[in-house]
Amino acid sequence: MNSKHGIPCAAVQQQCGADRESNLAATAELIEQAADRGARLVVLQELHATPYFCQTEDVAVFDLAEPVPGPTTSFLGELAAQHDVVIVGSVFERRLSGIYHNTAVVLDADGSLAGRYRKMHIPDDPGFYEKFYFTPGDGSPEAFRPIETSIGRLGVLVCWDQWYPEAARLMALAGAEVLIYPTAIGWDPEDDAGEQARQLDAWVTVQRSHAIANNLPVIAANRHGHEDAPSGDSAGIDFWGHSFICGPQGEFLAQADGQGDQVLLATIEPDRTESVRRIWPYLRDRRVDAYTELTRRVRD
């Protein structure tokens, strides 16, 4: 980042209900709390203005989509300028009739729209029917590019992207100074405790591994609380919270638990990536000449 001093960063963990205005009002309060505690960067969770509507397929939900710039970016931009913070938010973006994206937006500290990232990896699993709603972001060369802000280059990805080492590596190679994952993830309430523990541990571990493999800090902001399936044909989702911030060796800097609206605050030290890369030079030792088959679906 462009400062030799630490950057105070916040991850906001929030429960979302059916009313958009109530959700955004709660978001505004949590952003204010973060700013009052000294944050210069505030990361919100995925689709923070609405319930997680992807549990079912319903064409009426497309009415929730909005342009970028639009109402949510204006709302977040006003908060960013008011509190002098950079905000990473989330929008169900209507790009064109029939083209909708799950989009992370970045509002700089002056309120301007610094950039957007359209989610690249789109899941289609029970309870997470995102392919019905979202078109993947455009591919190379636009994909996996950091967003320039007044506090540095932000490697913003979204939720399902967090399971893919390729996405994190491409962000790192493009000069990202922090990896950021707005998230909406939880478990089936009918899963047993052992399965729930394994899922949560995998989620935390894979993101910490991206921090380690790329020598970059990671900020993961997840929603919490139970959300019923609108169709009523399943038990819904228990979003597991546990947002966290870790450093470039995967060390925890701040962790939330599974319940309650929370503002996590930690200071990212820009110089640590440089110093860690000097003794753990993963990027130097990559065998780029031997990886060409990574672009194939399988190796025959």
CB neighbour list of residue 84: distance below 8 Å, 6 or more residues apart: 35, 40, 109
Residue keyed to tokens 């060796």: 249
Q: From the candidates 9, 16, 46, 177, which is the catalytic residue?
A: 46
Asked if 155 contacts 143 with a C-beta cutoff of 8 angstroms, the reply is: no
Alpha-helical runs (H) found in 124-236: 165-173, 193-214
Note the residue count of the chain. 300
**Residue 54 among the catalytic residues:** no
**Residue 119 among the catalytic residues:** yes
Alpha-helical runs (H) found in the chain: 20-36, 71-83, 165-173, 193-214, 270-279
Q: From the candidates 9, 159, 227, 246, which is the catalytic residue?
A: 159
SS3 239: strand
Facing residues of 237 across strands? 227
Q: From the candidates 9, 93, 119, 227, which is the catalytic residue?
A: 119
**Residue 246 among the catalytic residues:** no
Buried b (16+ CB within 10 A) or exposed e, 238-265: bbbbbbbbbbbebeebbbbebeebbbbb
Which residues are annotated as catalytic? 46, 119, 159
